[in-house]
Structure formats: C-alpha cells, structure tokens
C-alpha cells in the first residue's frame, strides 16, 4: 500500500518471538487478514496478537501506546487494547513492535453495547474528559489528527480536484467549504482516539465490545472523533450520538469536515491497493453529501 512499506512475514515474526519471548515460541502464528493501513498483525496462539508497523513513522505509536494505554484504558467505558509486551528491533525488523491480547472483550461501566450510538457517544465523552496533561499534540505519530480543520484545507482541496472522474467534486467542495465556516476549536486540547470508525470497533452480533487501534491517540480538537457518525450511524442514530457526546454544533460541523477530508484523501491513495478503504471512503462521502443540515 505504501512506497516505504516494511516487509514482514511469518518467518520473521517467528524469529522475533523465539529470541525475545521464548515463553511463547511454541504457540501457533498466522497472519491476520486486515484492511489496516499502518500495522501488520499476526495471531499468536489464541490469546495474543503481534503488531508490527508497516511504515517507519508508525513506530512512533509504539512508545506512545505502551506509555498511555495502561493509564487511559481502565478509565474508559468500553474495553480497549492494552499492550502486554514490547519487542525490540532485531532479525531484520528495523522497528520496535508490540504484543496485544486478542481475547474477546466485554463492555464495562454499565453501558448497553447494543445501543451503538449512545454507547459510542458515551465513550467519546468520557475520553474527552480525561486529564490531557502530558499528552502528545497532533503530529506524525497520529497522522496529525486533532489539528485545526483549516490546516487540512490545501490537501483536501487538492484531493477533491483530483477526483473529477470519481465523485461530484462540486458537491464535495461545497460541503467542505460549509464545514470550514464552523468556528474553530478554542478550548483546551482533549484526548482523542483519532481514527474512530467502524473497522476499529470490535462487534459481536449487534453489540460493540471494544474500541481498537489507538494509533491516532493524542490531544487536540475533539471534532475528529466524530467521523464514525458518517461511517456507521444512520441519520437518526447521529442525533443520539451527538447528544451522548455533548459536543456543540460547531464541533459537530467540524466533525463532518473531518469525515469528508479523510475520505477524499484516502480514496485516490488506496484506489488500487486497498478495496476496503475505498469502500469506506465512498460510503462516508455518500453519507456526508446526504447530510445537508
């Protein structure tokens, strides 16, 4: 998917496990099929997953997640992945890597996980209320999620212009400009997931049991955590989600802008390499275009 992608395979991961975590060397190891763009996953036995960065810059996530997830995770109302081991560069692997639990998680704090909109909104509100002291601001470690929406203007317009043969660029431009009219975030930087969308949710039947992949973790404008509204939720669900998050209308409008911006940038980038991301981008744009409020 990327020009700078780092090669991994089962043989490499097996060597890493055998030399650094020999207590797990007799466990089965197999690749996990995923549309993920930043990490490669390998299932280790029945209860663990090995997570290796696909790109050099993604390695910044390793230290961040080992530092913060044990602190933030217990305070959140849905289960989240907390790393259980950190591996070091070796055996041809140039970057640090992690091992996470992969057992089925369950919701906590009395949230009804079947009410997707409300439980997700509650999750977002609780996370935004955690003490942000010491958190990393937007940067390459989290794909610059949480920056001011206007900072994405040039890249977003360039991507829209390049999609003339794919989407209604006039509608996309009009929708983008409407979101830019929303007042910018002037409050303190808040904790954000940074990539809260349907494929980062663990679902069993109709229930959400966990929120996954905190590579976009950081502190910044909370609007980017609303992108799931135009990915997963119906218009009626969005109303309940917004109410549960307690965000104001300006933040909601910027959230719509974040959803649009991420989609129009992802669509051309992954057009030939990641069908799952292409479907995601198209679905989000359809929802944003239909949402005229």
- CATH number of the domain at 44, please: 3.30.200.20
Among the three residues 71, 101, 131, which one is the final residue of a domain in this structure?
101
135/264 same-domain check: yes
Examine the pLDDT at 110 and tell me if it is beyond 50. Answer: no
Per the CB < 8 A criterion, the answer to whether 113 and 105 are in contact is no
Q: Which residues pair with residue 49 across a beta bridge?
A: 43, 100
Retrieve residue 222's tokens. Answer: 């909370």
Kindly list the distances between the CA atom of residue 229 and the CA atoms of 48, 65, 253, in Å, as whole numbers in the listed order.
30, 25, 11
Q: Are 16 and 52 in contact (CB under 8 A)?
A: no
Please answer whether residues 258 and 224 qualify as being in contact, where contact means their C-beta atoms are separated by less than 8 angstroms.
yes
Share of the chain above pLDDT 90, in %: 80
Q: Which of 75, 101, 127 is the last residue of a domain?
A: 101
Nearest to 257 by CA among 189, 190, 179, 200: 179
Give per-residue pLDDT as tens, 206-243: 778 899 999 999 999 999 999 999 999 999 899 999 99
pLDDT, residue 113, reads 41
Residue 105 pLDDT exceeds 50? no
What would the pLDDT profile of 131-179 be if each residue is shown by its tens digit? 999 999 999 999 999 999 999 999 999 999 999 989 999 999 999 999 9
Among 101, 126, 152, where does a domain finish? 101
Closest by CA to 270, choosing from 258, 282, 259, 286, is 282
pLDDT of amino acid 211: 94
pLDDT digits (tens, 9 = 90+) for 87-101: 999 999 999 999 999
Q: How confident is the model at residue 106 (pLDDT cuts 50, 70, 90)?
A: very low
Same domain, 221 and 141: yes
Task: Count the helices and strands in the chain (H runs, E runs).
Answer: 8, 9
Range of the domain at 37: 10-101
- Taking alpha carbons only, the member of 269, 235, 274, 268 closest to residue 252 is 235
Measure the CA–CA gap between 73 and 217, rounded to whole angstroms.
Answer: 12
């Amino acid at each position: 998917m990327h020009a700078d992608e780092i090669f991994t395979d089962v043989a490499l991961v097996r060597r890493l496990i055998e030399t650094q975590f020999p207590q797990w060397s007799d466990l089965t190891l197999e690749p996990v099929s995923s549309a993920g763009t930043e990490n490669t996953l390998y299932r280790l036995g029945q209860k663990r997953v090995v997570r290796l960065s696909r790109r050099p810059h993604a390695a910044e996530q390793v230290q961040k997640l080992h530092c913060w997830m044990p602190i933030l995770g217990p305070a959140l109302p849905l289960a989240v992945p907390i790393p259980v081991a950190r591996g070091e560069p070796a055996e041809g692997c140039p970057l640090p890597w992690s091992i996470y639990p992969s057992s089925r998680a369950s919701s906590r704090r009395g949230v009804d996980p079947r009410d997707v909109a409300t439980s997700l909104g509650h999750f977002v509100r609780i996370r935004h209320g955690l003490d942000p002291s010491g958190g990393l601001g937007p940067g390459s470690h989290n794909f610059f999620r949480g920056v001011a929406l206007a900072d994405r203007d040039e890249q977003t317009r360039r991507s829209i212009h390049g999609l003339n043969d794919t989407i209604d660029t006039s509608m996309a431009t009009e929708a983008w400009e409407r979101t830019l009219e929303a007042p910018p975030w002037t409050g303190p930087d808040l904790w954000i997931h940074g990539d809260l969308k349907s494929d980062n949710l663990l679902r069993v039947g109709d229930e959400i049991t966990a929120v996954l992949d905190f590579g976009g973790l950081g502190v910044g404008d909370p609007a980017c955590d609303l992108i799931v509204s135009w990915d997963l939720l119906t218009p009626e669900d969005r109303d309940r989600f917004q109410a549960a998050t307690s965000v104001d209308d300006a933040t909601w409008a910027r959230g719509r802008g974040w959803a649009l911006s991420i989609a129009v940038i992802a669509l051309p980038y992954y057009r030939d390499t990641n069908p799952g991301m292409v479907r995601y981008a198209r679905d989000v744009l359809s929802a944003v275009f239909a949402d005229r409020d």
